[in-house]
Amino acid sequence: MPEVSVIIPSYNHATYIGYAVESVLSQSFTDFELIVVDDGSTDKSLDALSGFNDPRLRVLTQANQGAHAAINRGLREATGEYLAILNSDDLYHPHRLAKMLEVLIADPQVGLVGSYIDIIDQNGKSLSIKHGYADSSPWLLEIPERSFRAGNDLHKALLTENYWSTTSNFVFSRRWFEAVGEFRPLRFTHDWDFALRMARVARLVLLPDVLMHYRVHATNTIREDRAAMIFEVCWCLAVHLPEHLADPAFTDIFAAPIIDELLHSIYTFGLERVLSVMLLQRLAENQLQALDLLTHNHPVRATYIAFIQRELAKTQAISPSAQPIHRASLLEQLRLRLRRKVL
């Protein structure tokens, strides 16, 4: 039985999948299995995979169901004690697995370990280095020095953004995976949701080493549907904020300093009303209803999406620097809900 299982969810990345597989097979740490789950590719991805002859590699196929389903399929098939994910257009540094395992073995309380990221273009050229939440953020905050980004708490910073950036940056033990459960059916934020669930029960570690290459290109998933992406961002915040803010890590939720940090940390593309209504639905307390909202034909989801589309159409292009942010009412709702929980 291998010590590590690496899962590659693959969909229509014939140009890149071979490089991804090779980056795993050439790891300095060798006691692993590599499971590629092809999620109904219609290009020549399977042809590219057929060129490998390594007993550690298994290729599974399924009808197209989305990245989360492909990842879950691979994790269910995995036999290793430690689990890692690599998207089919990304690359591992040769010593990535070895360095990740050092952390996980040394401290069993670590639930998720990742690293700094080299952002590369379609040709593999380095564009920039992402040092966690210190730079290359997915959106700008008005006064980041007054937000959770200004500190060194990985848990708190996770509420401002998914600084892990991608599931390719995830390595975790089977123990903690079983504690938090599989990836949920989110197209754009399944990685952020998973990291937030992990942060509730275990420690997070982000190594200050560049151990992964994240490729940006014209067909990245995040470029597909802005309204649906914003819906999922709001959904994640509505589901996770109340529970995270009740954690001792946030000390006194009624104190001015923590409120000030929150006011400068929560970002919803200027669509605070969407998050406010989701909080009023108490999604954090009604997990089944929250998951039901992720069904594409759900009428409430359709209502949210239609509203977001109308707001986006009004502004034509929302930019973080130009969009006004009104968060007072949101934080007041959180404060009242947390008070009810305490009482």
The domains found in the chain, sorted by start residue, are 4-219 (3.90.550.10), 226-342 (no CATH)
246 has pLDDT over 90: no
pLDDT of 219: 62
pLDDT of 324: 40
In 156-272 the beta strands, taken as DSSP E runs, fall at 171-173, 203-215
339 has pLDDT over 70: no
The distance from CA 254 to its chain's CA centroid, rounded to whole angstroms, is 29
Tell me what the mean pLDDT of segment 166-183 comes to: 97
pTM: 0.90
Say which range, 91-100, 243-252, 288-297, has the weakest mean pLDDT.
243-252
* pLDDT tens digits along 198-229: 999 999 999 999 999 999 987 655 545 999 99
Question: First and final CA of the chain: distance in angstroms?
Answer: 50
Nearest to 242 by CA among 208, 282, 205: 282
The dihedrals phi and psi of 130, each to the nearest 5 degrees, come to -100, 115
pLDDT of 313: 93
Q: CB of 88 within 8 A of CB of 17?
A: yes
Question: In angstroms, rounded to a whole number, what is the distance separating the alpha carbons of residues 29 and 216?
Answer: 27
Tell me what the mean pLDDT of segment 122-137 comes to: 93
